[in-house]
Structure 1
């Protein structure tokens, strides 16, 4: 099952979208996050933010329980299936999972409150989300790029985190993850004749298309 790699831009869109949907309730949102967030003196301090993680997670959980009916689609994850370990597409090959902003956020929040004493990528994403929601609830305006740059905690800033298939599949119970709904023949309806042959099969999906069409 495929690995999902998430960029920082996606989690920032998640935070901004969450707040936009409940901006008329800014005062209440601020009350939810005030205790956890106002106690943090230095958001770029690894030790301080790590040890405030339980409070930050509890605040986000409370926020989402209150406003889950305001969640919106955020991310489309494509699924493509091959014949076992071969590069050939399976007969039923393609499908898609649509993640809401709230559902997507659980991919990193649920792995952040495990008592770890070192900052992980999911913990960093959780702290950024809490800070964005808190600061937006206070003023309605934030410099999101500055927040993300400041809260790097020694990790690369372009990649937020990754989630392996065993983990994300716990949130998607449909059997369409193992038996996709669209047949492999839809490739011929999407990609014009001759274009697949032009692919350089360096990436796995390009390789699968390349070898399947040569069959």
Structure 2
């Protein structure tokens, strides 16, 4: 038994709603806690092989004197990515589920559910690293972005685990900010996530909208209270932009 994070996402998102259906994608926003869970999951795989982990990470990570100095760590980001790849490739058969991503599909950008509207995707701990590692490689290495900072966070936590058998996630995330807020780790739009999720279930989710009558029972829909947003109210108020008659 293990805990799994659930991240509900809409399909399509702002980036992909105007594209053909087979190009739709969902935006995913990742919080720092998810990276902590990821580090814990990978660390558990190496629980009895910390020396192996240290031998992989030590040659690069032990050269860093000040992890809070962006100039010192920035030049090593590509090396850090290679380290993560090596750590994962050595244990591919040990990857574990990390995150459940249910999707709900609408007709284009509208607020109307598509007939086939519900499905779910499962990210393993190893697969999840592709989101920020691949995107880091495609971004400029001249500055530390949220994506490359996530690489640094993961490396620092795993290196501390390899040395000490534990790590302090709060200290890592609070101190290694590199002048960027740490309210979120990173976010990727549907154009980026599509390549990892593309399949027949993304184009045509397996559950239809009729399943809701078997999910929400006893008139429970009458207790739903959607968030009140000004943009939604403006959009749904008829005649708001009609010219007044003289």
- Establish whether TM, by shorter chain, passes 0.5: yes
The 5-angstrom pairing of residues 1-215 of structure 1 reads 1-114=25-138, 115-202=140-227
Gaps spanning 5+ residues in structure 1: where?
A: none
Q: CA RMSD in A?
A: 1.9
- SS of 1:33's equivalent in the other structure is helix
Q: Deviations over 1:175-194 (max 9, x none)?
A: 10111001111112112243
Aligned residues: 206
Aligned equivalents of 2:227, 2:57: Cα separation in 1: 45
| Most deviating of 166-175 and 192-201 | 192-201
Q: Distance in 2 between matches of 1:26 and 1:180?
A: 42
Q: 1:194 to 1:171 in 2, by over 3 A?
A: same
Kindly name which structure, 1 or 2, has the bigger radius of gyration based on alpha carbons.
2
Note closer, same or farther for the CA distance 1:186–1:156 as it changes in structure 2 (3 Å cut): same
Give yes or no for contact 1:53–1:113 (8 Å, CA) kept in 2.
Answer: no
Matched residue SS, 1:90? strand
Distance 1:193 1:117 in 2: 57
* TM-score where L is the length of structure 2: 0.78
Q: Is contact 1:44-1:150 (8 Å) kept?
A: yes
